[in-house]
């Protein structure tokens, strides 16, 4: 190993936590130290001056040295000196087993000491063989209750020095012991004299850590430039990983101001949440390093702190900057164009100016999430920030706009006003997911973003929320695994869907006024969902859009505090011109439904042919009757207009037949809005799948698709029909399904063809991709020949890395099809293109296509490479490889066996708390549809349950979905095959 300076080496004696021995200091030695202190009074005075000014912490004398976390438990040497105290003559470091009682269920920090501000100095060594960092933090704390300890968080850190000093008198407090509690990741400083309520104290801590490769906390990343590996250091703190970078009060409610200083090599750049101040300063003992100092932040939560040290470059637009690798900086232009536009849209929408002096956005080569909303420094995967003309697909333009809009929405919802605790994570993510559609729509109105919300978020949330193992939007969470576990479609998409529903029953004007009121009242502070409900209630009562006897809390608690969603069944009385609406919880297996169903406050909207839209409420009641529909016996009746409500709708058979007849008329489907056509398709097929509706009725609805040309209904239909593909693809009757789907697709396929027009609308481009991908997957010769021809032309070109004439919007289809019907030569060619590609969107497409091979040994090797260091596959893409292989019908069992065989290796490589592990578990198990498969996974889960961590809920959901698939096959397969055999399209 090499180090740039001597003290970069971890070379001291430490006391380890776990089963270590005590380190004690005798009374004579303590007395000697006190005399030494008197003799060194001048040095101490300088130290006090230093502490008062919160400056160079490296000059502080060393105190008790503690190794925090068993990962770094090792024996090294140190000097131990203690500030003088008249009350104690020994310092003891203790273990979790000694005097520290853990109530793991309660992971919240005590509130007797609260942070006021931090001064953080970090020196990262971004050097192969020494990926470490040294740090010093001075925390100014306010004491609310007199106490004999200070408790904060630290994880995976070596704690060198701990000092506590009273602010006004500059008096050191004697430290009795410094302990850690590993399960709760607490660092506890026990004192011989109390910190007193109403006073302010300095807590100074020196520490060391490792720039890990797990993409958590303060971590390392790399990329190649002209064949040379270049390293960077970056952060990802949400939800509980700031404590891996510096000791802190790592809870969202414990906001403080942060002053950050970063030491960096002179040939690199440092950026953080706030702008730099002053000029870089030399680092003592490190001639190749300089200090960058940053402005003190506004009050903020620890999980929003961010910093990156790199050799990246940026493009600027006023106070807006986008950073990337030097060879990719030209790909930042689109983000730099739309970012300021979306930010301005939000300033107008929320009625509050963006409060920070700048916005930096940076694309990182390795990043565990899609993006992270750190205040003033938003971090991204490259694929959702960078766009290259003629290489990145049109879909990536929309994806980039959505992700940028999502993260910028967080600058208000999440950063300016932050949930008190992770139970209300959805206040962050649900709002950002809904509002991102508004922000993206402001720059891409031609994409009908608000229509696409129905298929991208609403229907997606339904899929997970139909399981008994789903969870409430607002849910109690404790340990970090539980917190990370709820970063799912429930918090994001369901949260967004119920907000959209509320916006519609309140009106956009009242909704916006209420949000402004909420943000103004809680800015730079924290909130719970009840704070939002109270504000919106006041606004809705003032504007008289809600009965004064009703509160938003009364309505919305039924959606946030209850698991699942309702199916509303409309049963018409044709003689009396009335309808009875009943509600019950929708479950993926209807026979699992309890007789004691939960009930919701449901905003009902309804209409008929040529009728105005009317509305009413189901007020947590099992049934209501609506009279005087003003409909004839031959007129259809529609509930949940534009699917603004978060519920499914079922009808009596006669009304389903009337709707189907309308859809099947020539251009008859056009009387329904595209969102409602998507709803009818999605509701019918999922009601049938769960056993609420006869499959004959549901499949009849799909027959009208021969004349459908809108993207949103087609996408909804194909998602539902893809489920039938998964259920039948391994059966002897698959050809029945194949013939029916091709009958629906063939006319549209002939219209849109395989060749793009230069001025094709983007939604037509999307339709061409969706249709062609199914047609090629089903083996239609014309499609396969087109794809293989284009791939071979590319393969035979003199410089395939620079010249690729395949349309960027069809590359996924072309690559996958050619690799599927080809062999090792095609696979190896695509793999080399992946390694050489400089555009992350292209790399992602190639990664998915490489999973299309029909060679089992190639797929096995591909899975192996996905969890192998330096294979060329980045750690954040491991889950993508598994998804690619499992989407291949011959790869499903292969990937599942690999998961079981290499379970320990997967956990070690990705980290037990990695969300990638959860994604891999889902993709390997979600398609099970035989009892043998489900039982085998149950047995594996039972053996390894304690090792699943964040993936445990995912595993249980997969089992529930697998059991539903088994019942589906038993209940429906014969009937569907019979229908498919006789239908005439």
Q: Which sequence positions are flagged as catalytic?
A: 407
Q: What is the CA radius of gyration of the chain?
A: 30
Q: Is 465 helix (H, G, I), strand (E, B) or coil?
A: helix
In this structure, the number of other CB atoms found within 10 A of the CB of residue 943 comes to 11
For 320, 350, 520, 591, 631, the CA distances from 376, given in Å and listed in that order, are 10, 18, 20, 50, 56
- State the residue for tokens 């290796």: 905
User: To which H or E segment does residue 343 belong?
Assistant: helix 333-350
CA distance 281 to 257: 23
User: To which H or E segment does residue 576 belong?
Assistant: none
CB 842 within 8 A of CB 392: yes
- State the residue for tokens 């009937």: 975
Tell me the H-state helices in 366-424: 394-410
CA distance 795 to 619: 63
**Residue 936: CB partners within 8 Å, gap ≥ 6?**
none
Virtual CA dihedral for 315, 321, 326, 328, nearest 10 degrees?
-90
Strands 359-364 and 371-372 turn out to be unpaired
Query: CB burial class (10 A; 0-12, 13-18, 19+) of residue 192?
Result: middle
CA atoms within a 13 Å half-sphere pointing along the CA-CB vector of 495: 27
Strand partners, 307: 272
| DSSP-assigned letters across all residues of 474-488 | S----SHHHHHHT-S
Total length of the chain? 985
Q: Which two tokens stand for residue 524?
A: 């730079």
Closest of 672, 673, 735, 664 to residue 705, by C-alpha: 664
CA distance 834 to 855: 19
Q: Is 929 helix (H, G, I), strand (E, B) or coil?
A: coil
Q: Which two tokens stand for residue 939?
A: 């047995």
CA distance 337 to 782: 40
CA distance 875 to 484: 18
**Residue 490: CB partners within 8 Å, gap ≥ 6?**
426, 461, 464, 465, 470, 471, 472, 473
CA distance 346 to 342: 6
CB 533 within 8 A of CB 518: no
Closest of 635, 633, 654, 461 to residue 563, by C-alpha: 461
- State the residue for tokens 């910190």: 195
Q: In what order do the strands lie in the sheet with 614-619?
A: 614-619, 601-607, 638-639
CA distance 298 to 669: 54
- State the residue for tokens 């029916």: 740
| DSSP-assigned letters across all residues of 798-826 | S-TTT---S-TTTHHHHHHHHHHHS-HHH
CA distance 957 to 389: 40
Strands 359-364 and 377-381 turn out to be parallel
CA distance 615 to 628: 13
Helix then strand then coil, in percent of the chain rounded to 5, is: 45, 20, 35
Closest of 750, 678, 729, 701 to residue 890, by C-alpha: 729
């Amino acid at each position: 190993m090499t180090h740039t300076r001597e003290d970069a080496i971890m070379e001291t004696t430490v006391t380890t936590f776990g089963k270590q021995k005590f380190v004690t200091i005798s009374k004579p030695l303590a007395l000697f130290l006190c005399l030494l202190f008197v003799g060194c009074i001048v040095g101490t005075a300088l130290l006090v001056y230093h502490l008062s000014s919160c400056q160079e912490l490296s000059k502080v004398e060393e105190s008790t040295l503690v190794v925090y976390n068993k990962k770094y438990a090792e024996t090294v040497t140190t000097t131990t000196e203690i500030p003088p105290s008249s009350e104690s003559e020994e310092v003891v470091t203790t273990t979790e087993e000694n005097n520290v009682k853990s109530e793991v269920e309660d992971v919240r920090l005590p509130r007797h000491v609260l942070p006021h501000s931090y001064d953080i100095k970090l020196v990262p060594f971004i050097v192969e063989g020494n990926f470490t960092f040294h740090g010093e933090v001075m925390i100014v704390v306010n004491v609310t209750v007199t106490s004999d300890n200070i408790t904060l968080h630290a994880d995976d850190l070596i704690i060198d020095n701990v000092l506590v000093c009273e602010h006004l008198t500059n008096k050191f407090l004697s430290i009795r012991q410094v302990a850690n509690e590993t399960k709760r990741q607490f660092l506890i400083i026990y004192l011989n004299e109390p910190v007193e309520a109403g006073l302010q104290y300095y807590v100074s801590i020196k520490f060391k850590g490792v720039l890990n490769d797990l993409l958590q906390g303060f971590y390392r990343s790399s990329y190649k430039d002209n064949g040379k590996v270049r390293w960077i250091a970056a952060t990802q703190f949400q939800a509980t990983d700031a404590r891996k970078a510096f000791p802190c009060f790592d809870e969202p409610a414990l906001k403080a101001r942060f002053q950050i200083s970063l030491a960096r090599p002179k040939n690199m750049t440092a950026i953080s949440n706030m702008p730099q101040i002053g000029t870089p300063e030399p680092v003592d003992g490190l001639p190749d390093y300089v200090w960058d100092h940053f402005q003190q932040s506004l009050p903020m939560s620890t999980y929003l702190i961010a910093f990156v040290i790199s050799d990246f470059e940026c493009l600027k637009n006023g106070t807006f900057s986008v950073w990337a690798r030097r060879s990719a900086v030209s790909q930042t232009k689109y983000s730099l164009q739309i970012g300021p536009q979306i930010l301005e849209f939000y300033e107008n929408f929320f009625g509050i100016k963006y409060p920070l002096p700048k916005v930096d956005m940076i694309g990182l080569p390795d990043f565990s999430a899609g993006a992270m909303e750190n205040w003033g420094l938003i971090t991204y995967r490259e694929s959702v920030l960078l766009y290259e003309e003629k290489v990145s697909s049109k879909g990536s333009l929309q994806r980039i706009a959505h992700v940028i809009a999502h993260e910028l929405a967080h600058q208000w919802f999440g950063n300016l006003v932050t949930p008190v605790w992770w139970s209300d994570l959805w206040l962050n993510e649900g709002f950002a997911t809904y509002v991102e559609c508004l922000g993206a729509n402001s720059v891409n109105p031609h994409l009908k973003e608000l229509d696409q919300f129905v298929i991208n978020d609403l229907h997606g949330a339904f899929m997970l929320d139909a399981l008994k193992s789903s969870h409430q939007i607002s849910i109690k969470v404790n340990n970090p695994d539980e917190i990370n576990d709820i970063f799912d479609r429930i918090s994001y998409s369901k949260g967004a869907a119920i907000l959209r529903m509320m916006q519609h029953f309140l009106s956009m004007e009242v909704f916006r006024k209420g949000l402004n009121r909420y943000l103004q009242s809680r800015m730079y502070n924290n909130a719970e969902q009840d704070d939002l409900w109270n504000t919106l209630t006041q606004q809705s009562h003032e504007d008289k859009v809600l009965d004064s006897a009703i509160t938003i809390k009364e309505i919305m608690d039924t959606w946030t505090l209850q698991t699942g969603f309702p199916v509303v069944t409309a049963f018409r009385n044709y003689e009396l011109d009335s309808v009875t609406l009943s509600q019950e919880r929708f479950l993926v297996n209807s026979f699992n439904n309890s007789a004691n169903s939960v009930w919701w406050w449901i905003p009902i909207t309804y209409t008929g042919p040529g009728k105005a839209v009317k509305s009413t409420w189901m007020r947590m009641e099992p049934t209501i009757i609506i009279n005087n529909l003003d409909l004839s016996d031959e007129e259809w009746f529609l509930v949940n207009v534009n699917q603004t409500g978060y519920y499914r709708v079922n009808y009596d058979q006669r009304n389903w037949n009337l709707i189907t007849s309308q859809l099947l008329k020539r251009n008859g489907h056009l009387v329904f809005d595209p969102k409602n056509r998507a709803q009818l398709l999605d509701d019918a097929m999922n009601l049938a799948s769960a056993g609420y509706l006869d499959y004959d009725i549901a499949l009849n609805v799909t027959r009208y698709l021969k004349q459908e040309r809108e993207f949103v209904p087609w996408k909804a239909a194909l998602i539902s029909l893809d489920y039938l593909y998964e259920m039948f693809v391994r059966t002897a009757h698959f050809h029945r399904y194949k013939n029916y789907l091709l009958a629906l697709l063939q006319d549209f396929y002939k219209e849109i063809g395989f060749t793009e027009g230069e001025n094709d609308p983007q939604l037509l481009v999307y339709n061409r991709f969706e249709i062609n991908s199914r047609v090629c997957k089903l083996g239609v010769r014309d499609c396969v020949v087109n794809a293989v021809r284009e791939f071979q032309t590319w393969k035979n070109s003199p410089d395939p890395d620079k010249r690729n004439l395949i349309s960027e919007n069809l590359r996924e289809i072309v690559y996958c099809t050619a690799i599927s019907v080809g062999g090792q030569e095609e696979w190896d060619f695509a793999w080399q293109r992946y390694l050489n590609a400089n555009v992350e969107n292209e790399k992602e497409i190639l990664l998915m296509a490489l999973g299309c091979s029909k060679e089992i040994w190639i797929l096995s090797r591909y899975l192996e490479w996905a969890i192998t260091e330096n294979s060329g596959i980045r750690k954040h893409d491991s889950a993508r490889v598994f998804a690619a292989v499992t989407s291949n019908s011959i790869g499903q069992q292969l990937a599942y066996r690999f998961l079981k065989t290499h379970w320990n290796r997967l956990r070690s490589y990705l980290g037990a708390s990695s969300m990638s592990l959860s994604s891999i578990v889902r993709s390997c198990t979600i398609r099970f549809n035989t009892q043998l498969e489900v039982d085998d996974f149950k047995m594996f889960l039972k053996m390894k349950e304690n090792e699943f961590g964040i993936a445990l809920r995912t595993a249980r959901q997969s089992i529930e979905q697998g059991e539903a698939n088994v019942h589906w096959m038993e209940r429906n397969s014969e009937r569907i095959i019979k229908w498919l055999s006789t239908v005439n399209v």
